[in-house]
Amino acid sequence: MPSTDSALVFHEWSKTYGPVMHLKVLGRSMIILDSYQTAVELLDKRGVTYSDRPKFTLYELLGWNPSLVFLQYGKQLNIHRQMHQSYLSRHKAEDFKPMQTQEARTLVQNLLDSTPDKYEKFKVGEAMPSFISEQLDQMEEGADEEDLKGAAATMFGAGEATTWSTLSIFILAMVLHPECQAQAQKEIDSVVGGARLPEFGDREDLPLVEGVLQETLRWNPGTPLGVPHRAMKDDVYQGMLIPKGALVFANIRGMSLDENVYSNPTSFNPERYFPKPAGKGEPKFSNVSFGFGRRFCFVRSPLGDFLTYYVHHQSMHWTVCRQQQPVDCHSIDLGNL
């Protein structure tokens, strides 16, 4: 087993051994899927076999039970997915937009002027409507709150670091590729006219910024090996036995570097997603970033794709304000912070 950069090492190995690899680690079978096609065929199409998770003893000892990410296939998993999904589907992406707009503007304000006293503005107020407040309202008298605690902790735990790391990667990409940033800035200016910040409604008119988002997800994926699935029974794929109990990893990092899909994959090139002949017509990476099968990340679902908007929106705001010209960021109204 590689001790560092396993996703990259697995991808190198796949060039010799192919996109489905079987490793035996301390007596346990590990399957690495290094191509989008094999992940779809096994984890998506044969989801009934690959929807379990292995036991994460360390996380259990750390008190991460019950957390949806680590739950094994069964009744409790259904309860937890239902809690998340019903919340996200009752509140369609539209409902989150005012809050996301506010948060994006807060981010811009913090980036512009990040002195500690600014944070004093976040005064403690009455509990805002939220996942927890809604679930509590629906909860029957005397019901056990452990599942709700676990579900809420999961929403934070699974969503916070992933969002933060994706935004950090975006900022890194912009710092390393100022020419992309300048082009994205130009595109935004041509749409908003330098007089206002971008809105969600502008998304369709910003194909390059959309490319920047997709490239941010692909160029350095925040979850290189996703979260392991577990084979619930013996399975045979293209003549290969995948034994019951095997850990199955979708190598998201490997897929991002697949030269059969992405030309010159280590380069940061938002235009690769443009249809031919302007671009290369390469597939968006958001189909890969959020995992596969019945354990896919909620933000991949049509009703829960708010995160994509979120990153996109924050990207737009940040891009506008990173530049000194032609917009004077301090002169733009960032809303009531």
Those residues with Cβ within 8 angstroms of residue 230's Cβ, 6 or more apart along the chain or in another chain: 50, 52, 53, 54, 72, 245, 246, 247, 248
Instruction: Choose between 148 and 155: whose C-beta lies nearer to ligand HEM.
Output: 155
Instruction: Choose between 253 and 334: whose C-beta lies nearer to ligand HEM.
Output: 253
Return d(Cα 84, Cα 151) in angstroms, integer.
7
Number of shown-chain residues binding ligand HEM (CB under 6 A): 27
- Shortest distance in whole angstroms from residue 54 CB to ligand HEM: 11
Applying CB under 6 A, the span of 18-26, 30-38, 150-158, 199-207 interacting with ligand HEM comes to 150-158
Under the binding rule (CB under 6 A), the answer on residue 93 touching ligand HEM is no
| Tokens read off for 77 | 């998993």
Under the binding rule (CB under 6 A), the answer on residue 316 touching ligand HEM is no
| Tokens read off for 49 | 């076999």
Residue 324 DSSP one-character state: -
For 68, 76, 91, 126, 134, the CA distances from 138, given in Å and listed in that order, are 20, 18, 15, 19, 6
Whether residue 13 contacts residue 6, with contact meaning beta carbons closer than 8 Å, is answered with no
Under the binding rule (CB under 6 A), the answer on residue 290 touching ligand HEM is yes
Applying CB under 6 A, the span of 97-105, 230-238, 272-280, 297-305 interacting with ligand HEM comes to 297-305
Under the binding rule (CB under 6 A), the answer on residue 163 touching ligand HEM is yes
Q: Which of 21, 31, 68, 316 binds ligand HEM (CB under 6 A)?
A: 68
Whether residue 222 contacts residue 5, with contact meaning beta carbons closer than 8 Å, is answered with no
| Tokens read off for 107 | 């981010």
| Nearest residue relative to ligand HEM (C-beta) | 291
- Shortest distance in whole angstroms from residue 286 CB to ligand HEM: 9
Q: Which of 162, 183, 214, 315 binds ligand HEM (CB under 6 A)?
A: 162
Residue 331 is inside which H or E element, if any? none
Under the binding rule (CB under 6 A), the answer on residue 295 touching ligand HEM is yes
Under the binding rule (CB under 6 A), the answer on residue 298 touching ligand HEM is yes
> By rule CB under 6 A, what string of x and - marks binding of each residue 97-126 to ligand HEM?
------------------------------
Q: Which of 21, 83, 297, 334 binds ligand HEM (CB under 6 A)?
A: 297
Give me the torsion for CA of 250, 255, 260, 261, rounded to 10°.
Answer: 120
- φ/ψ bin of 264: left (φ > 0), alpha (ψ from -120 to 50), beta (otherwise): left
Under the binding rule (CB under 6 A), the answer on residue 76 touching ligand HEM is no
Return d(Cα 39, Cα 72) in angstroms, integer.
20
For residue 114, which phi and psi values (nearest 5 degrees)?
Answer: -100, 50
Task: List interacting residues with ligand HEM (CB under 6 A).
Answer: 68-69, 81, 84, 154-155, 158-159, 162-163, 166, 222-223, 226-227, 229, 250, 289-292, 295-299, 307
